[in-house]
Amino acid sequence: MVTKTLAQHIAKTSYEQFSETAIHEAKRSLLNWLGVAIGAANHESMEMVLNVAKTTASQPQATVLGRNEKVDMLFAALLNGMSSHIYDFDDTLLETVLHPSAPVFPAILAYAEKEKKTGKEVLEAFIIGCEVEARLALSVYPSHYWRGWHITGSVGGIGAAAAISKLMGLDVEKTIYALGIAATDPTGLREMFGTMTKPYHPGKAAMNGLLAALVGGQGFTSSVKPLEAERGFLKVTSEENKSELITENWGEKWEVEKNSYKPFASGIVTHPAIDAIITIQKEHKLQVGDVESITVTAHPLVKELTGKIEITTGLEGKFSVFHCVAAGFFNLKAGVYEFTDEYVNRPDVKELRHKINLVIDENIKEDQVNVTVKLADGREITQCIEHAIGSTDTPMTNEQLKDKFYDVTGDVISTHAKSALIDLVNRFDELEDLTGFFSLCKPAQTANKY
């Protein structure tokens, strides 16, 4: 039985079994996730959901990162999961385009803050939760994704349930129930990409997974075969039949070791094209008037996920390879500002977007691209990217991740708090008390003065 075996793995796995690489990447995942969550704390969509929390008289149990408010554990998981995905700047397991941290860390930290867990327990729960969601993603990908599920939400809630089951110390039977309750509540349609509802998916997955473990921990029953049954998660949501991937060779390696971190605040499949145009611009310093056309030859997913050319909002821009290339051309980056409504509607940016052509080549891999700039004088400049920056083959360094953390958190927290948080994350497994960690995630009125 797949689910029972998985629950046994979750219950018996301990921190001491993890490789140094897995622990190192778990810390890098935490730093990257924390930065993007804090950075988007004041987004208008966060205000909307916080208003709902206030309307329902949510009790102050857990921190909303980057804000002064505290809410109950479930709303904290929802809000922090949302904020960490608003900028589309969070981590990715490239084999399945799963964002592993956004559905799992919010649930863990909400529970850990209320129940006073240690840093080591948090990291242990995350690595296990990441392992579960990543293996599930591999077992249903690609048909699950092509059918329209947002895989981060749909498997992320099960990963969160696994993580909280571990953090709560649930036995095998109650862990099965938690997995089953989460499996019956998948979240996320790809139709929602480019709207506020996309980042809502990992937030709701975190909330669902936390709730599933809390309810399952009470002995609330579910099917004991929620994943593998004829009408279970795998067969209902996918045409794949790879259930063996969920449990086989458990502990030989850890999926978190493959995690990658975004240098650009857009859909991961746009990154090779951004990387290519930035490389061209650093050498040639072209003006928009020099350009007759730009041709991007890329993997089919680039069109499927980011084929929008007529856009009016920053959120839509994250799913437009045309806009992403234009941003890289003008600004040599594609960060938070390049995906604001203001920037998307700039006349020169709109002009360049309409000079960009997208050509699909099924022989090109997802992290590859060929970009050719045809100039008005007839010359052509071509740049090929084999592995985009941020991929597992060309990973962001620790220094680059620190720089990203400083940049993306903006003026939400102070420079002092940023430095202190980086230090705490680096030695997170040594922390017996997370009170100081959460206090540093609060906004400082003098943040812009440091």
How does pLDDT run across 352-361, given as a tens digit for each residue? 999 999 999 9
Q: Does the structure show a pLDDT above 80 at 244?
A: yes
| 104 closest CA partner among 262, 311, 256, 314 | 256
Domain presence at residue 415:
no
Domain presence at residue 352:
yes
From 225, 258, 291, the end of a domain falls on 258
Residues 57 and 205 in one domain: yes
Contact 98, 134 (CB under 8 A): yes
Query: Mean of the pLDDT values across residues 367-378?
Result: 95
What pLDDT is attached to residue 393? 86
Residues 224 and 333 in one domain: no
Domain presence at residue 272:
yes
Q: Does the structure show a pLDDT above 90 at 196?
A: yes
Q: Does the structure show a pLDDT above 80 at 448?
A: no
What pLDDT is attached to residue 104? 99
Full domain range(s) for residue 365: 268-385
Domain presence at residue 200:
yes
The rounded distance, in Å, linking the Cα atoms of 4 and 176 is: 6
Residues 135 and 167 in one domain: yes
What pLDDT is attached to residue 239? 94
Q: What percent of the chain has pLDDT over 90?
A: 92
From 336, 366, 385, the end of a domain falls on 385
Q: Does the structure show a pLDDT above 90 at 205?
A: yes
Q: Does the structure show a pLDDT above 50 at 450?
A: no
| Model confidence band, residue 391 (pLDDT cutoffs 50, 70, 90) | confident
Query: Mean of the pLDDT values across residues 327-349?
Result: 95
The rounded distance, in Å, linking the Cα atoms of 201 and 180 is: 19
Beta bridge partners of 63: 70
Residues 253 and 272 in one domain: no
H helix runs in 169-299, sequence order = 172-183, 197-216, 233-237, 271-284
What pLDDT is attached to residue 366? 83
Q: Tell whether pTM > 0.85.
A: yes
For the domain that residue 354 is a member of, what is the CATH number?
3.30.1330.120
Residues 18 and 58 in one domain: yes
What pLDDT is attached to residue 445? 65
| 125 closest CA partner among 86, 154, 163 | 163
What pLDDT is attached to residue 446? 41
- Locus of tokens 């620790």: 398
How many other CB atoms are there within 10 angstroms of residue 287's CB atom?
10
